[in-house]
Amino acid sequence: MKKKNIVILGCTGSIGDSTLKVVRHLSDQFNVVGIAGGSRFEKVADIANEFDCKYASIQHEENFTQFKSLLTTSTKASLGEEGMVEMCSDPSVDLVLCGIVGTAGLVPVLEAIRSGKDIGLASKEILVMAGEIVMAEVAKAGVKMIPVDSEHNAIFQCLDGQSDNSYRRILLTCSGGPFRNTPKEDFESITRKTALNHPTWDMGPKITIDSATLMNKSLELIEAVWLFDADVDQVEVVIHPQSIVHSMVEFTDGSILSQMSNPDMVFPIQYALTYPERYKSSIAPMDFTKGVSLTFEGPDHDRFPSINMAKDCLRRGGTSPAVFNAANEVAVEAFLEESIPFLKIWDVIRHTEEKHSFIKKPSLEEIIKADSEAREIAKDFLAKNS
């Protein structure tokens, strides 16, 4: 059987680590053709050497000479977006897995789609920014967009083989984050350290803060609308602290299907890489004989306004979701630098949404421009109000 040739964008983060774990476990199924990482160039070089990659790209030019000196194979070293586009367009590549946090993967993913590659998507910001454009390109190219986020991957599995109009609701599950039971009056005392203490998942700092504000689930709601061609009111968020039911789909006849597994990203990543086949996982299966409790509740929109803010952005459409995402990235970075309090994150987003130059039917270039404008508005607001 021919091995599947893959590219991994974001190879040094948590998604990259789990992806490489799958590749090592199923080494007879995959070739890693290309990898891209950010500032951890030594780790990128180690991965390139281990898998004898054809391409390896890093982010910062000042590390490039040292990076090249660490490569012990014939790997072609490159920089940034240009390097990612080159590897994603290689004719031998079958699938590109994008695990880059933020929007840096947007152009490489679009080029991969146009080159006929299937996409394993863990970077929700790509569809938040440009969902209409990206999914139109997917349809035009006839490729598969396979979600890697555990929730969207669960929905993808529940809907597999079903007709597009067969479901009534998508129930997007959410752990609730570290402040699920924290009274609103205590939000003023939330620190960087407590916000980074996620009860279930081991993720990078930006995603962990997004989980604490429920912004991560809000971005996932926008992503789900585009991935599954849903109406905004068909997607509901349900708090499920155990993170065992990764999402559910209610069909028109009232039946509900869920996908369950232990909370480990290896499961959805392996399914995305091997789809439509299934292989034995390296992770131990669930043991129901030890007792498993599953609880569900609705989100508190007063303490966590992110979800309703995301729905408002979707209803406005146009550049609004891209601005929503960009302002959040700036605000989270400021919180992680301890220059603003936790509650200020939402203020930054609201202000930026109000002040940006809204465009109803933007081109890709206008979306990218709106993203840049939003970051400047948010930074200016922080400079005046920190």
Q: What is the pLDDT of residue 144?
A: 96
Q: What is the Cα–Cα distance from 35 to 255, expressed in whole angstroms? A: 41
Residue 196: DSSP 8-state: T
Neighbours of 56 (CB within 10 A): 29
pLDDT at 73 (0 to 100):
82
| Global confidence as pTM | 0.92
In the chain the domains, ranked by start, together with CATH numbers, are 4-148+265-285 (3.40.50.720)
Write the pLDDT tens digit of every residue in 171-208.
999 999 999 999 999 999 999 999 998 766 666 788 89
- The burial class, CB within 10 Å (0-12 / 13-18 / 19+), for 337 is exposed
Distance CA 199, CA 184 (A): 19
DSSP class of residue 3?
Answer: P
Sign of the torsion angle spanned by Cα atoms 319, 302, 332, 155: negative
Residues of the chain with pLDDT under 70: 1, 163, 199-203
Contact (CB, 8 A) for 71 and 35: no
Query: Does an H or E element contain 49, and which?
Result: helix 41-51
Q: What is the pLDDT of residue 39?
A: 86
Task: Give tens-digit pLDDT for 65-118.
Answer: 999 999 988 999 999 999 999 999 999 999 999 999 777 899 999 999 999 999
